[in-house]
Structure 1
């Protein structure tokens, strides 16, 4: 059965171009051009993934849809955008997309982003039903589980220890001590390692630029991301990609 992809785009030329690419690559595609049409298709078409333009009707309506999907539906979505300014990127991160495509885009970028998103969704579903994974999680107390879940869902943003403390419900001293005891490292180190693991995966498996990956992970500049990645791997992001993606 073909994977269902909903394209939400009010530029007919762009939506037709995307549909042509997806048809050629074996996807079942439907097109919408508004908030109302998209919400209706969640029930009628039942998409497995959504490609979502940010600037529908010139009103950032796409971000409203993203917020709805993030809170009400378990459907991964990828933003389509002509904007690459920091403020817009920060704004879309709060809705937790699985990625974004900058116009103009290449066919290979569309397909790779979709395949990665679908793979990650399947992997997360497998984790839920995996008895070994459930047994592994059982070693954590509920407050630490809540903190780890918060980190996982907000990995593309700056995560502050004070927010983890609030989520856990413990005092600062108790939380930091128990986190290190149960997880084996400090909250800062755990967040850093998780961001670098995701960065490594993106560098190996996607055609996203280093700048795009940096913003996806909540870094405000290429240099801060590059310095962090060098600290983690001993290689710059571009050299890491050259070494492992030949």
Structure 2
């Protein structure tokens, strides 16, 4: 009796819960929309098959649910085995085969193909083991070994892929937090939504990832010059709020608001402000190195005093503003001299006097523009 009870429980878990859960998970990984039908249909079919198996097997054995004295019209145990075969075909073989075909045509994700192939092999072993005469029930126990190894490999790949994506998202978020773009808040929300997607709808995993993000934000703000004690206490408070949250939307709003506020805090810190100003000047010079603009004008554009900007620029870049502008001009002129005259090149990169341009060019490169052209021409030939 105990053995039959174990059998009933095992089949209820296998047909009614285990296989449907596997099918739903792989279907979602394959890109099928998470509709109500995707959940109801597998569990509904699995529940029907599990109940049918138990009833048929009971009809041919203990007869808890039937009149013990009634004549046996058919072999209930054989019918129960047929239910197993139908379940393997309907729940594993057909869906896994279709999803494998879909995946081979589409993205060909190795981890998903491993999951699906394992399910297909397990289904085939179940059909063969139960359907053959005499039955070879041990076949699908033996088949479970390679299937288990395939699924372990798939889980390893999934964890590795998740860690890589999470790490990349954290780096992108850190860059956005430090930036000073008008699209900052929008970018933060998009990155946090991507992080939710990487968590595959698991709230506990999502909370864990969000706590990692919160720690990263706190560290970044402290490194930028924020008050350590107040930021650490703020981190503790937000961590508690995240832990007590009941859904992903609430967690996402907590970290989103914190990311925006800490980002604004970083922007207000002088050290960060100086770095942003220098980056702004560098970007401007890269796009406008040929313009005749004074350091005073550049300082006004950056929002710093001339002396402050010159000091911060040299500290961050290792060159003065004029030295950096000269470097950009000479680098651009080297490409232009291949196809243009020295005079044309000089005017195009911002020098109104070709002779002065030649002097600067020689000082930076060690060659005169003419010597550079001849050297480049010989190299080409």
Fold equivalence (TM over 0.5): no
* Range of TM-score over shorter length: 0.3 to 0.5
Higher normalized contact order (CA 8 Å, seq sep 6+, divided by chain length): 1
User: What's the TM-score, normalizing by structure 1?
Assistant: 0.41
User: What's the TM-score, normalizing by structure 2?
Assistant: 0.27
The structure whose residues are more often helix, as a share, is: 2
